[in-house]
Structure 1
Amino acid sequence: MKIYKNISQQRYLWLNKALQSNAYEAWLIDNGSLTLRLQKRYARFSVQPVALKFAKPIQDEAALLHLPVHKTALIREVLLMGNNQPVVFAHSVLPRTSLRGAWNGLGRLGNKPLGATLFANPKVKRTPLSYKKLTPNHALYKHAAQHLTQKPSYLWARRSIFSLNCANIMVTEVFLPQLLAI
């Protein structure tokens, strides 16, 4: 693990293990389709689009996707809803070059789950998951917390990169407190 001299750089550090994630651990480390798992758990599962726009990715997202910092990508944000409650906030970064070929329809999914598309194709490869305990100063915490009535002191997130024919997209899933409610 790299030690950062500048404390502000620590906000970009993601972990290889979901350390001390407690009740969220089983959700965080599951390598299968989160969409499928949520569909099995909730009688009423849906995807609620929040944002779809071309924008600059967060600095560490751009670095992992090998995008120059001045380039924009399609940013898709949705809420995964279980029984009409937001349980996961999903943030996807789709570089323009990845919106061609087999993935040319990813920018037009609307209320369809991205996970269903990704896991349906056996040729899609996924990097190992990485994890972060997001605090209120992190951009993804701010985006996810907008949809919560009570703001927790932190939110757990995981992310990975999906690849198909040299096209890469990053998917980050932020787990919301309602997921643990019975």
Structure 2
Amino acid sequence: MQRATGLYNRSPITTWHATRSRRQLWHNAGFPQQRLHTVSDTQRGWLSRPPALPRSLRRWLCDRGSLTRRLKARCTRFSVTPLTTGLARANFDEMVLVGLSGRQLAYVRDVTLRCDDQVVVFAHSVLTRKSLRSAWNGITRLGSRPLGEALFNNPRIRRQALAYRKLRPHHPLFRRINLHLPQTERCLWARRSVFCLAGHPLLVTEVFLPSITPL
């Protein structure tokens, strides 16, 4: 069993894992029809490359470094506000990425990231109970500390490729956000990736709110 303190080693991640992707034609309302790249058939709608976006949003969406570190550099006061933590059902397109099947419950952690008291990101983390009891057992004690610091300070953690999606109001994640932060936007851009520690996957999805673009 991994020790909880293993999450907080202070070294940068040095290795990235790439995942295979396949091409398909996808029409995205609000953008010209163009050839995009889906992660796999089981993850339809998630893209390995985002379409053309305003630079103010793309620079946040596509940066592969620590989001926590970058946000801290752009504001005076950075904070994490926990919203929900505990056992819950994962979204259908999340289950295969963390190894869930059937009616198994996942451990889910939802938080908001704030810059100078302004909510800029909704972060959604999912892992199995088995992973929670072993490699990732320090997550339950994070509280209002950012998960990103732990992920990027441990050289044993490996991050897989980023995937991107434009969330519409019917998407489960959009609905989760609306429970805490009612949205007037018709869509929100999100990205996600899997972090692996000792063979145990942790899925982290970050949804960028419009308030992030001025930063």
Under a length normalisation based on structure 2, what TM-score does the superposition of the two structures give?
A: 0.77
Q: 1:25 aligns with which of 58, 65, 73?
A: 58
Q: Please give the per-residue CA displacement for 1:30-78, whole angstroms capped at 9, x wherever unaligned.
A: 1111010011111100000000020110001002222103111110000
What residue in structure 2 maps to residue 6 of structure 1?
none
- Structure 2 partner of 1:44: 77
> Cα RMSD over matched residues?
2.1
CA offset digits 1:149-168 (Å, max 9, x no partner): 55211000000000010111
Q: Does 1:70 align with 2:95?
A: no
- Equivalent residues in 2 for 1:1-182 (5 A)? 1=22, 12-22=44-54, 23-148=56-181, 150-181=183-214
Structure 2 residue runs without a partner (length 5+)? 1-21, 25-40
Q: Deviations over 1:67-106 (max 9, x none)?
A: 1031111100000001101100000002111113342111
Structure label with greater radius of gyration: 2
**Matched pairs, number:** 178
Structure 1: stretches of 5+ with no match in the other structure: 4-8
CA separation in 2, counterparts of 1:100 and 1:64? 18
Q: Which amino acid aligns with 2:46?
A: W
**Residue type of the partner of 1:46?**
S
1: distance between equivalents of 2:133 and 2:189?
32
Sequence identity of aligned pairs in percent? 45
Relative contact order, CA 8 A, sep 6+: which one is greater? 2
More helix by share: 1
1:70 alignment partner AA? R
Moved more, 38-47 or 17-26: 17-26
